[in-house]
């Protein structure tokens, strides 16, 4: 998917919502079997219920890989059900030496035809180049994450005076254009978005942490948007597990609609 197509979808819907399909098989509603068929039925219902209000879906691959072959089959069926108008992300956080990264890229760009994959940048440029070799595909690089452990490395000061994550943003953004690279910035780091936008003014940001993790949508929008909006704000549990009963799809629809309505208001300010 091209950047312009994604921007056009966001503008048309006045929504930059990404729904995270972090489908925990142990949390499926009681009316669904806790197996591959149950996961697929759940995901299809969530997608059908939320598609009018979002522009993207992010599949956290760990929840599928942990189920072995059945999980991969569920992931494949889920991806196939997502409308082509919606931006698809494999949240896999890969990154390895070049020939290994090339196989990861093949897995998530060809075998499973996602639009984007999340990657870890700490092995350097040669570990990311194989992903960047694909046209109309996106590499979403971890920038500043919201977990407690981000203090261990990401927020360490370098001799240059920069934080490590700032150096990552600066260097990685020079490896390809804003048509190919996005960055992950946690919503609970919203106070840092203003400075981050000075480093990467034109890139899209994938922002997890709104909803169950307590991030502020208004702050993320205020400090993170750019001229093309440039945001994909992800909500997972708050939407897909809005209910644990048989009305789970209806409740997911309602919560996604609430996010979309708030986004429309924030974009008008």
Catalytic site positions: 93
Q: In this structure, is the dihedral angle defined by the CA atoms of residues 211, 143, 116 and 101, taken in order, positive or negative? A: negative
Q: Report yes or no: 213 and 225 within 8 Å, Cβ to Cβ.
A: no
d(CA 1, CA 195): 28
Among residues 265, 258, 244, 194, the alpha carbon closest in space to that of 14 is found at 265
Instruction: State the Cα angle at 255 between 254 and 257, rounded to 5°.
Output: 65
Q: Report yes or no: 184 and 142 within 8 Å, Cβ to Cβ.
A: yes
Side-chain-side CA neighbours of 57 within 13 Å: the count stands at 27
Among residues 67, 29, 56, 63, the alpha carbon closest in space to that of 45 is found at 29
Contacts of 235 (CB under 8 A, 6+ apart): 17, 18, 19, 20, 210, 211, 212, 255, 256, 259
Other CB atoms closer than 10 Å to residue 155's CB: what's the count? 16
Across 72-84, b (16+ Cβ under 10 Å) vs e yields bbbbebbbebbee
């Amino acid at each position: 998917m091209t950047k312009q197509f994604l921007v056009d979808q966001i503008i048309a819907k006045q929504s930059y919502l990404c729904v995270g399909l972090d489908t925990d098989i142990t949390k499926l509603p009681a009316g669904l079997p806790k197996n591959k068929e149950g996961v697929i039925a759940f995901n299809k219902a969530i997608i059908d219920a939320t598609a009018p209000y979002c522009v993207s879906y992010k599949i956290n691959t760990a929840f599928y890989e942990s189920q072995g072959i059945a999980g991969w089959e569920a992931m494949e069926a889920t991806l196939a059900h997502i409308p082509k108008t919606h931006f698809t992300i494999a949240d896999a956080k890969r990154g390895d030496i070049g020939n290994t990264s090339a196989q990861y890229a093949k897995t998530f760009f060809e075998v499973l035809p996602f639009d984007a994959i999340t990657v870890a940048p700490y092995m350097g440029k040669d570990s990311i180049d194989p992903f960047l070799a694909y046209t109309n595909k996106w590499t979403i690089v971890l920038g500043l994450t919201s977990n407690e452990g981000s203090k261990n490395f990401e927020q360490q000061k370098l001799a240059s005076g920069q934080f490590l994550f700032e150096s990552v943003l600066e260097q990685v953004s020079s490896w390809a254009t804003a048509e190919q690279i996005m960055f992950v910035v946690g919503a609970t780091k919203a106070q840092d978005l203003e400075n981050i936008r000075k480093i990467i003014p034109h890139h899209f940001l994938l922002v997890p942490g709104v909803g169950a993790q307590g991030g502020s949508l208004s702050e993320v929008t205020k400090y993170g948007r750019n001229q093309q909006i440039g945001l994909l704000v992800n909500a997972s549990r708050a939407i897909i597990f809005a209910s644990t009963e048989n009305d789970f799809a209806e409740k997911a629809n309602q919560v996604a609609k609430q996010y979309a309505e708030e986004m429309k208001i924030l974009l008008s300010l």
